[in-house]
Chain A
Amino acid sequence: MDKNKVSVDSVTFKFLYGKYKDFRIPFIVIVACTVLLVGFLLPQFKNLLDLSIKSKESEKNLKVLKNNFNFLSSLNEDALDSQLKIVTRALPADKDFIGIINAINYASSVSGAGVGDFQVSVGELSKDQASGSDSSPTSVSLTIDGDIEAVNRFIGTLGTTLPISEVTTVDTGDFSSTVTVSFYHKPFPSTKSQGISSIVSMGSDDVALINKLANFNYVTSQELDFIFEVGTPSSRLHPEGELR
Chain B
Amino acid sequence: MLQDVNFLTVKKRDKAKSRKSLLAVRIVAVCYLVIIGFLSVLAFYFENRVSLDTAKKNEDSFLKTIVPFKSREAKLLLIKDRIADISEILKRREKVAGKERAEKANYEKIITSFEEKIPQGIVVNVLEVEESKVVLNLSSDSLNLIDDLIDGLTSLGEDEIISSLLLDSLSLSQDKSKYSILLTANL
Please indicate the chain B residues that have their CB under 8 angstroms from the CB of A159 in the complex. Answer: 93, 108
A170 at the binding interface (Cβ < 8 Å): yes
A61 at the binding interface (Cβ < 8 Å): yes
Chain B, range 10-29, C-beta contacts under 8 Å to A: 18, 21-22, 25-26, 28-29
Contact with A along B54-86 (1 / 0, CB 8 A): 011011001101100101111111111111011
A59 at the binding interface (Cβ < 8 Å): yes
Please indicate the chain A residues that have their CB under 8 angstroms from the CB of B79 in the complex. Answer: 80, 83-84, 87, 202, 206, 210
Tell me, in angstroms, the Cα distance from A19 to B92 when the chains sit together: 94
Q: Are B40 and A41 in contact, with the CB atoms below 8 A? A: yes
A-B contact count (CB 8 A): 197
- Beyond A29-B33, A69-B69, A83-B79, is A209–B62 a contact (Cβ under 8 Å)? no
Cross-chain contact of A186 among B18, B25, B75, B85 (Cβ < 8 A): B85
Give the interface residue-count category, chain A. Answer: 35 or more
Please indicate the chain A residues that have their CB under 8 angstroms from the CB of B148 in the complex. Answer: none
Residue of B nearest to A153 (CB): B108
Contact with B along A124-151 (1 / 0, CB 8 A): 0000000000000000000000011101
B102 at the binding interface (Cβ < 8 Å): no
A72 at the binding interface (Cβ < 8 Å): yes
Tell me, in angstroms, the Cα distance from A167 to B66 when the chains sit together: 44
Q: Is the interface of A mostly helix, strand, loop or mixed?
A: helix
Please indicate the chain B residues that have their CB under 8 angstroms from the CB of A122 in the complex. Answer: none
- Beyond A26-B28, A26-B29, A54-B52, is A199–B43 a contact (Cβ under 8 Å)? no
Q: Is the interface of B mostly helix, strand, loop or mixed?
A: helix
Give the interface segment out of A2-10, A43-51, A234-242: A43-51
Cross-chain contact of B108 among A33, A152, A164 (Cβ < 8 A): A152
A10 to chain B, nearest CB (A): 23
B123 at the binding interface (Cβ < 8 Å): yes
Q: Are A30 and B29 in contact, with the CB atoms below 8 A? A: yes
A56 to chain B, nearest CB (A): 9
Residue of A nearest to B46 (CB): A48
A184 at the binding interface (Cβ < 8 Å): yes
Tell me, in angstroms, the Cα distance from A143 to B125 when the chains sit together: 16
Query: Size of chain B's interface in residues, with CB distance under 8 A?
Result: 65
Q: Are B80 and A206 in contact, with the CB atoms below 8 A? A: yes
B130 at the binding interface (Cβ < 8 Å): yes
Contact with B along A198-213 (1 / 0, CB 8 A): 0101100110011001
Please indicate the chain B residues that have their CB under 8 angstroms from the CB of A88 in the complex. Answer: 78, 82
Give the interface segment out of A96-104, A171-179, A224-232: A171-179
Chain A residues proximal to chain B, CB less than 8 Å: 19, 22-23, 25-27, 29-30, 33-34, 36-37, 40-41, 44-45, 48, 51-52, 54-55, 58-59, 61-62, 65-66, 68-69, 72-73, 75, 77, 80-81, 83-84, 87-88, 90-91, 147-149, 151-152, 155-156, 159, 164, 166-174, 177, 184, 186, 188-189, 191, 193, 199, 201-202, 205-206, 209-210, 213
A-B contact pairs, 26 of them (CB 8 A): A29-B30, A33-B33, A33-B36, A44-B47, A45-B43, A48-B47, A51-B47, A62-B55, A65-B59, A65-B63, A73-B69, A75-B72, A81-B75, A87-B78, A91-B86, A149-B115, A151-B111, A155-B107, A168-B131, A169-B128, A170-B128, A171-B126, A172-B126, A186-B82, A202-B80, A210-B83
The 9 closest A-B pairs by CB, nearest first: A26-B29, A58-B55, A72-B69, A170-B129, A172-B127, A87-B82, A29-B29, A191-B74, A65-B62
10 additional contacts (CB under 8 A) given A72-B69, A167-B108, A191-B74: A19-B18, A72-B73, A80-B72, A84-B75, A87-B86, A156-B108, A170-B129, A171-B127, A186-B81, A209-B90
